[in-house]
A and B are shown apart, each in its own frame.
Chain A
Amino acid sequence: GESVGLHLPTLSVQEGDNSIINCAYSNSASDYFIWYKQESGKGPQFIIDIRSNMDKRQGQRVTVLLNKTVKHLSLQIAATQPGDSAVYFCAENPRRVDMRFGAGTRLTVKP
């Protein structure tokens, strides 16, 4: 069945290191993907998106990579800061109006 999943439920990194959060999706019809960040007590906030006609997209300190061959999505955060500690969700949009979300990865940044 359709699913959006994450390889690891938790990730702990040292401040200043780079973080990589992974996501697997199963619907090959998905043409739009988003990464969201959710801080404690808040709603998910948009970080970066990518469409299926791209392999890579960069933002400020963040990069999203899309590998359609293996249906894999990753979020790279450069020079991770304490303020990056949060739960990160990937979401796919399989050519329908709804979005499918993964369960999330909790990123903890150690000082």
Chain B
Amino acid sequence: EAQVTQNPRYLITVTGKKLTVTCSQNMNHEYMSWYRQDPGLGLRQIYYSMNVEVTDKGDVPEGYKVSRKEKRNFPLILESPSPNQTSLYFCASRLLPGELFFGEGSRLTVL
């Protein structure tokens, strides 16, 4: 089954404790992206990657890092999480210029 898999789905952490949200896709898509979703603000892009070792900032990259060492994986790293990073995060992939396929989301709470 074609899918985008994120882990963890739910996480509560404390300010400053580094965390990684993993994302994996099995569709051989070159393009992958991370979004955060906040009430009233819709989906905002954090980072995207056109291919292995090629990443670029989206609209809200501050406080996040990503890496793309393999085509299927695109982890999101929060080096020092802060409460304003409490949000619902989505990983997505696509075969350009087609639709985005989304994961099920990771709900992160930073205390």
Contacts and interface: CB of A to CB of B under 8 A. Distances in A.
**A interacts with B:** yes
Q: What's the dominant secondary structure at chain B's contact region?
A: strand
B74 interface: no
Interface in A8-22: none
Interface size class of A (residues with CB under 8 A): 20 to 34
Interface size class of B (residues with CB under 8 A): 20 to 34
15 contacts: A34-B100, A42-B105, A43-B105, A44-B100, A45-B102, A49-B99, A89-B42, A89-B43, A91-B100, A97-B96, A98-B33, A98-B48, A99-B100, A101-B44, A103-B41
Given A44-B43, A99-B45, 8 more contacts: A32-B97, A36-B102, A43-B4, A45-B102, A46-B101, A97-B48, A97-B96, A98-B58
Interface of A: 4, 32, 34, 36, 41-46, 49, 89, 91, 93, 97-99, 101-104
